[in-house]
């Protein structure tokens, strides 16, 4: 059974994500099919624009098939893990380099791998229902799919904040920080999609429906507390903000994450500042293979996605107890 549907009409090729029971989480077959479709359409003069949509009313794409990756890790199948990530990152690179307008319509959850097939594209349209996040540190992993490239290029501290805490952004927030390019009301999305499918130019389709929106992200606080990739200093700053509810909330989010993953994430984002997307994806591939073999990954996925008790037992349990030699080994320094 295919979880990818495609249509072609009026110069528009549409890729429809159709795995609703899994919130369109990308399994190997979906990644391969989407990659081959985009390759074919890239050379097809009859197709001028690519549109990516979802059949799920509350999800664009919830990420990669992390449960399957965990099972490969438990079964001692590193080659299967490498094959999955190689295919996924190859797809992300293709989206980033795509020679034609690539439009993603995000009206719901877009996390992890879902951002890989949207944020790298030219046009990312969100609604007030959009929910965008990179929540990987909570499962003993790190923000991948090229996130170590695009997160460091967001406004001061925002990328590190998102990568470490897994904080969730709504549509207006995503536009404000540059993860999305346009905001459209959910009620207007069907008409917008209809116009694009009919061959109306993107500018003409968007102009009457897209308008500036206000975000209430605390950008000054984010810049104040999340501009230092030294986690000991970062956490110390938050702990010193006595009486600041937001700072305490951030400490709670960090407390839910794997301490090792937090250090790995900070190191990868720092390295990503001076790297190309291809270099970041290559570094992520190597780091991903290493971190998937750690106990924290199996335990994090178990707690969040398998048993769903949300009570992982990470080792070590605190940021200051993490062995920096292990962090450097995972990152590949």
137-189 tens-digit pLDDT: 999 999 999 999 999 999 999 999 999 999 999 999 999 999 999 999 999 99
Separation of alpha carbons 260 and 296, rounded Å: 8
Residue 289 scores a pLDDT above 90:
yes
How many whole angstroms separate alpha carbon 135 and alpha carbon 130?
A: 15
Write down the catalytic residue from 65, 92, 107, 144. 144
Residue 136 appears among annotated catalytic residues:
yes
Catalytic pick among 108, 113, 140, 300: 113
Is 113 an active-site residue? yes
The predicted structure's pLDDT at residue 264: 99
Active site residue 114: no
Q: Are 38 and 30 in contact (CB under 8 A)?
A: no
pLDDT tens across 185-233, in order?
A: 999 999 999 999 999 999 999 999 999 999 999 999 999 999 988 999 9
Residue 296 near residue 258, CB atoms below 8 Å: yes
- Residue 317 is part of a domain; what is its CATH number? 3.90.226.10
Evaluate whether 62 touches 23 at the Cβ level (below 8 Å): yes
**% of the chain surpassing 70 pLDDT:** 100
- Residue 269: per-residue pLDDT: 98
- Active-site position among 13, 14, 63, 64: 64
Copy the structure tokens of residue 160: 């590190």
pLDDT at 127 > cutoff 80: yes
Check pLDDT > 90 for residue 333.
Answer: no
Cα–Cα distance, 73 to 293 (Å, whole number) = 6
Catalytic residue among 107, 136, 173, 284: 136
Mean pLDDT of 106-115: 98
Of all residues in the chain, the percent with pLDDT exceeding 90 is 97
Indicate whether 1 pLDDT > 80: no
Residue range of the domain that includes 124: 1-333
Among candidate residues 172, 168, 179, the one with its CA nearest the CA of residue 124 = 179
Query: Is 64 labeled as catalytic in the residue annotation?
Result: yes
Domain count for the chain, please give it.
1
């Amino acid at each position: 059974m295919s979880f990818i549907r495609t249509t072609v009409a009026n110069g528009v090729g549409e890729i429809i994500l159709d795995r609703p029971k899994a919130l369109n989480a990308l399994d190997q077959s979906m990644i391969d099919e989407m990659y081959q479709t985009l390759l074919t359409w890239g050379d097809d003069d009859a197709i001028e624009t690519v549109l990516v949509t979802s059949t799920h009313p509350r999800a664009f794409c919830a990420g990669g098939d992390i449960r399957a990756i965990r099972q490969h890790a438990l079964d001692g199948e590193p080659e299967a893990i490498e094959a999955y990530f190689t295919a996924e990152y190859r797809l992300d690179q293709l989206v980033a380099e795509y020679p034609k307008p690539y439009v993603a319509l995000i009206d719901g959850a877009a996390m992890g791998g879902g951002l890989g097939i949207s944020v790298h594209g030219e046009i990312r349209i969100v609604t007030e229902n959009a929910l965008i996040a990179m929540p990987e540190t909570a499962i003993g992993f790190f923000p991948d799919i090229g996130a170590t490239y695009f997160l460091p290029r967001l406004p001061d501290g925002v990328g590190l904040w998102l990568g470490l805490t897994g904080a969730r952004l709504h549509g207006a927030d995503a536009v404000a920080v540059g993860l999305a390019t346009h905001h459209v009301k959910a009620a207007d999305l069907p008409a917008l999609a209809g116009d694009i499918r009919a061959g109306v130019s993107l500018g003409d389709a968007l102009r009457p429906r897209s308008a500036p929106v206000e975000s209430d992200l605390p950008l000054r606080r984010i810049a104040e507390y999340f501009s230092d990739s030294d986690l000991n200093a970062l956490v110390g700053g938050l702990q010193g903000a006595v009486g600041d509810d937001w700072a305490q909330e951030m400490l709670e989010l960090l407390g839910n994450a794997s301490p090792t993953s937090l250090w790995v994430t900070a190191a990868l984002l720092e390295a990503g500042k001076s790297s190309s997307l291809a270099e970041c994806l290559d570094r992520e591939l190597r780091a991903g293979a290493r971190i998937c073999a750690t106990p924290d990954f199996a335990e994090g996925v178990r707690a969040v996605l398998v048993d769903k008790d949300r009570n992982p037992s990470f080792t070590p349990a605190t940021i200051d107890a993490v062995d920096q030699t292990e962090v450097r080994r995972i990152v590949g320094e």
